[in-house]
Structure 1
Amino acid sequence: MNAAVKPTPATVTQPSDREVRTERIFNASRERVWKAMTDPALVAQWWGRGNKLVIERMEVQRGGHWRYVEHAPDGQHGFEGRYREVTPMERVVRTFEWDGMPGHVVVESVMLEDLGDGRTKLVTLSLFHTTEECDGMLGSGMTEGLNQSYVALDKVLAALG
């Protein structure tokens, strides 16, 4: 990606009172985006918004467990869940739970769409158990953190090119 081009932020919408949908187009093939999302060494470079990220577990298969620990200026933040569905190059469905709010589990469905021109649309639909949990996530700075991670992902994808 040309350094002079400012990345477009993710589009964040709320299809229902318990769902958040994010959408972002990346200047990379679906294969490269898939690799950056499923290779622990690459995930560690972008997922933590530029902070150090330790991948404790990443079993990308149905029933597999994942756990990441972000080392941020304000302390450590652990995230984990289980993979419910893995369709290589197309779709991942997994649970997502933050150590700071145990028991509040989100179901994330991530879809990769090949746009046919070397770009990939990444769509994530997050389903929350309650409206309050959804509102809490939207009010937490989630969008800013997501966009910081996606800028880091842009760099990883460019290096894979």
Structure 2
Amino acid sequence: MNTSNKSVKVSTPSDREIRTERVFQAPRERVWKALTDPTLIARWWGRGNKLVIEKFEPERGGHWRFVEHAGDGAHGFEGRFREVTAPERIVRTFEWDGMPGHVCVETMTLEDLGNGQTRVVSVSLFHTQQDRDGMLGSDMETGLGESYVALDQVLAALAAS
């Protein structure tokens, strides 16, 4: 499988992984700031829905928890940071309240491409192929595409300030 949505490339490198890739028109340090500053995260992660950041401790062992308030109710997401290496890498667990116990490990890398561009690659490792396929079937690609469009707007606003 290899599809794209609004320039998000999604692939399945193994039977338990989802890999996403997107190039942003912003230097790596600016992208890092938008990924690690709770005030900025709240502006893009929820795709326009209200996002409450209940916890955000971007350090090894730190806890994160976001609650998105959408038209169909509140959706909680959380996990623990395993590695935070500024401005190039974040490894964390990810769990959705709607499927407790189905935890994946996300590894996100930020690659400086020069010319003010940054490639963000995220690889999510699931416990089972069924968990991976469930995520693929959840319309995550559309949601991620919408979040990344909102992130583009945050990055542009940061450049203008």
What TM-score comes out, normalization by structure 2 length?
Answer: 0.95
Q: Deviations over 1:44-91 (max 9, x none)?
A: 000011111000000000000000000000000000000000100000
Report the equivalent of 2:7.
Answer: 9
Report the equivalent of 1:23.
Answer: 21
Report the equivalent of 1:137.
Answer: 135
Q: Deviations over 1:107-128 (max 9, x none)?
A: 0000000001100000000000
Report the equivalent of 2:113.
Answer: 115
What SS does the aligned partner of 1:147 have? helix
Q: Which runs of 5+ in 1 are unaligned?
A: 1-6
Query: What is the distance in 2 between the residues matched to 1:52 and 1:30?
Result: 26
What SS does the aligned partner of 2:114 have? coil
What SS does the aligned partner of 1:15 have? coil
Give 1:8-157 correspondences, 5 Å limit. 8-157=6-155
Moved over 2 A (4+): none
Report % sequence identity. Answer: 70
Amino acid in the other structure paired with 2:9: T
Amino acid in the other structure paired with 1:158: A
What SS does the aligned partner of 1:92 have? strand
What SS does the aligned partner of 1:17 have? coil
Query: What is the distance in 2 between the residues matched to 1:97 and 1:160?
Result: 30
| Cα offset, 1:8, TM superposition | 3.9
Report the aligned-residue RMSD. 0.9
Report the equivalent of 1:3.
Answer: none
Q: Which runs of 5+ in 2 are unaligned?
A: none
Report the equivalent of 2:156.
Answer: 158
| Cα offset, 1:10, TM superposition | 0.4
| Cα offset, 1:11, TM superposition | 0.2
Query: What is the distance in 1 between the residues matched to 2:7 and 2:119?
Result: 13
What SS does the aligned partner of 1:115 have? strand
